[in-house]
């Protein structure tokens, strides 16, 4: 396919916001995800040549300023699908999502990069959400973070070989979250490496029941949140990599709070339907954030 010239791209910069996400939500391993009202803000402009990257906020001292940056990788993959090649890019990333904390910073970068590329081309060339989801999942490997970052809200998702799906599910308007963010992170790869290759059939059945109950709890049966967030598949296996987080989950659950490890950790998330202020439970050196549910997903905010 011939490479289109400059008119294939919109004039001027495009700015979008992409939300943080929490995957698993306790028992929904690799299949349940929730978008949260904490956003990275990404701006991109097609320029005559080169690659300029500015990063402020989270990760400003560690993230690369070249083709290795995950947003750039996602943009390049999206441009390949779109069949265009920009002559150059000027990028600015204002990061508010903590890095390597289980709040979907990598998924936000992937979904944000794909959405940026899509928004930079003429609207006649743009692909739909289904293409974006498949592309994002291919880069991330698991849909439970990228799907809510793309769609917003509470999402039930899954994959089978090359097929991926994501279905927005109802969530009661009273539900919000409290995130307890520790000062140091844990890599997703390290956390996944602690999981067993097989689990007992009874354990799998118990976990399936909790995940199904959680869908009902988030949809309105809010008194079921504590039982619905009970996990048997992954959290305890990962406790050695984040003992303080696991201990906090146990303490909060013993007090009746629907607490769990967010994603691969080490952030602890609590779902609440009564606006409870649990910030006094925040361990020293950690940061407590009260977060609403984001219902929009990634969206262009300018122009």
Q: Which of 259, 270, 258, 266 is nearest to 239 (CA)?
A: 266
Q: What is the mean pLDDT of the chain?
A: 94
Would you state the torsion angle of the CA atoms of residues 260, 35, 98, 287, taken in this order, to the nearest 10 degrees?
-50
Same domain, 23 and 108: yes
Q: Which of 145, 121, 176, 150 is nearest to 6 (CA)?
A: 121
Torsion over CA: 241, 258, 270, 33 (sign): positive
101 a known binding residue?
yes
Query: Is 1 part of a structural domain of the chain?
Result: no
Query: Is 56 part of a structural domain of the chain?
Result: yes
Same domain, 13 and 146: yes
CATH of the domain at 285: 3.30.70.890
Question: Which of 169, 189, 222 delimits the end of a domain?
Answer: 169
Q: What is the mean pLDDT of the segment spanning 231-239?
A: 91
Same domain, 191 and 99: no
CATH of the domain at 165: 3.30.230.10
Claim: this prediction has a pTM higher than 0.85: yes
Confidence of residue 39 (pLDDT cuts 50, 70, 90): very high
Question: Which of 152, 169, 186 delimits the end of a domain?
Answer: 169
With a cut of 60, say whether residue 1 has pLDDT above it: no
108 a known binding residue?
yes
Give residue 189's pLDDT.
76
With a cut of 80, say whether residue 6 has pLDDT above it: no
303 a known binding residue?
no
Instruction: List helix spans (H) across the chain.
Output: 70-82, 105-120, 129-140, 143-151, 188-192, 201-218, 225-228, 243-254
Three-class SS of 163-184: EEEEEEECCCCCCEEEEEECCC
**Residue 62 neighbours by CB distance under 10 Å:** 9
98 a known binding residue?
yes
100 a known binding residue?
yes
104 a known binding residue?
yes
Q: What is the mean pLDDT of the segment spanning 265-279?
A: 94
Window from 23-32, 187-196, 228-237, 287-296 with minimum mean pLDDT: 187-196
Answer for the pair 210, 230: CB distance below 8 angstroms, yes or no.
Answer: yes
Q: Tell me how far apart the alpha carbons of residues 243 and 250 are, in angstroms, rounded to a whole number.
A: 11
Burial class from Cβ neighbours inside 10 Å (0-12, 13-18, 19+) for residue 79 reads buried
Answer for the pair 283, 248: CB distance below 8 angstroms, yes or no.
Answer: yes
Query: Is 36 part of a structural domain of the chain?
Result: yes
Give residue 88's pLDDT.
97
Q: Tell me how far apart the alpha carbons of residues 204 and 192 are, in angstroms, rounded to a whole number.
A: 17
Same domain, 180 and 165: no
Question: Which of 115, 146, 169 delimits the end of a domain?
Answer: 169
Range of the domain at 64: 6-169
Q: How many domains, the chain? A: 2
Query: Is 302 part of a structural domain of the chain?
Result: no
Query: Is 285 part of a structural domain of the chain?
Result: yes
Same domain, 146 and 15: yes
Query: Is 258 part of a structural domain of the chain?
Result: yes
Q: Is residue 258 helix, strand or coil?
A: strand
Q: Tell me how far apart the alpha carbons of residues 86 and 41 are, in angstroms, rounded to a whole number.
A: 21
């Amino acid at each position: 396919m011939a490479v289109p010239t400059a008119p294939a791209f919109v004039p001027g910069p495009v700015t979008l916001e992409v939300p943080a996400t929490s995957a698993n939500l306790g028992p929904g391993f690799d299949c349940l995800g929730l978008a949260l009202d904490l956003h990275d803000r990404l701006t991109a402009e097609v320029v005559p040549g080169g690659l300029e990257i500015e990063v402020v906020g989270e990760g400003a001292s560690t993230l690369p300023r070249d083709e290795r940056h995950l947003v750039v990788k996602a943009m390049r993959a999206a441009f390949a699908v779109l069949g265009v090649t920009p002559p150059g890019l000027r990028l600015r990333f204002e990061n508010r999502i903590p890095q390597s904390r289980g709040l979907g910073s990598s998924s936000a970068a992937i979904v944000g990069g794909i959405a940026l590329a899509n928004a930079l081309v003429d609207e006649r060339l743009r692909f739909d959400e289904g293409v974006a989801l498949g592309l994002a999942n291919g880069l991330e490997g698991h849909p439970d973070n990228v799907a809510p970052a793309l769609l917003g809200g509470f999402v039930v998702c899954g994959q089978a070989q090359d097929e991926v799906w994501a279905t927005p599910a109802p969530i009661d308007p009273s539900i919000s979250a409290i995130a307890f963010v520790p000062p140091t992170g844990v890599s997703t790869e390290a956390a996944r490496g602690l999981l067993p290759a097989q689990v007992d059939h009874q354990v799998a059945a118990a976990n399936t029941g909790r995940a199904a109950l959680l869908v009902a709890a988030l949809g309105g049966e809010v008194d079921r949140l504590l039982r619905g967030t009970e996990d048997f598949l992954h959290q305890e296996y990962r406790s050695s990599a984040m003992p303080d987080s696991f201990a906090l989950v146990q303490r909060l659950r013993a007090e009746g709070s629907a607490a769990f490890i967010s994603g691969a950790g080490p952030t602890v998330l609590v779902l609440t339907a009564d606006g409870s202020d649990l910030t006094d439970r925040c361990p020293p050196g950690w940061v407590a954030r009260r977060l609403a549910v984001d219902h929009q997903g990634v969206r262009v905010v300018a122009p």
